[in-house]
Amino acid sequence: MDILCPFKTVADAAFTHEKIVIDKFHLVTLMNKALDEVRKQVQQTLNNHQRRKFFQSRLLLQKRAEELTDEEHEKLIELFELSPALEKAWELKEEFKDLLQLDDVKEATRALKRWYKEIIKSKRMPFYQVKKIIQR
């Protein structure tokens, strides 16, 4: 199900005793938006020379670690040297995508709880918002 508020409101009203399931696509989209918010926040704190390194970084940051070329990996390292906060946000995104691949419900639940704790430790507001949406 799409997790936009109007759809959820209608689903809650129509299916009062049923579980509402959100598909992975929408969860990954939320994660990518949260990561992009952190990227934008970081860019605002940098000087012009540093900002140039962020040129076309949005899609790079959304890529899975195992899909990165050596060159892309090096570019990520440069970005993370400028901002440990961005590195932590990227790690949160990667951890979340990893837990979506788990088949065992108990294992996935434990991983999700650990991920929630990492969000709290990271103090990254965009990820708090994702956490709240998932918990609903």
> pLDDT averaged over the chain?
86
Contacts of 46-55 with CB under 8 Å at 24 or more apart are 46/82, 46/83, 50/82, 53/78, 53/79, 53/82, 54/79
> For 48-66, what is each residue's pLDDT tens digit?
999 998 888 999 999 999 9
pTM greater than the 0.75 cutoff: yes
**pLDDT score for 134:** 81
**Predicted local distance difference test score (pLDDT) of residue 21:** 63
Banded pLDDT at 17 (limits 50, 70, 90): low
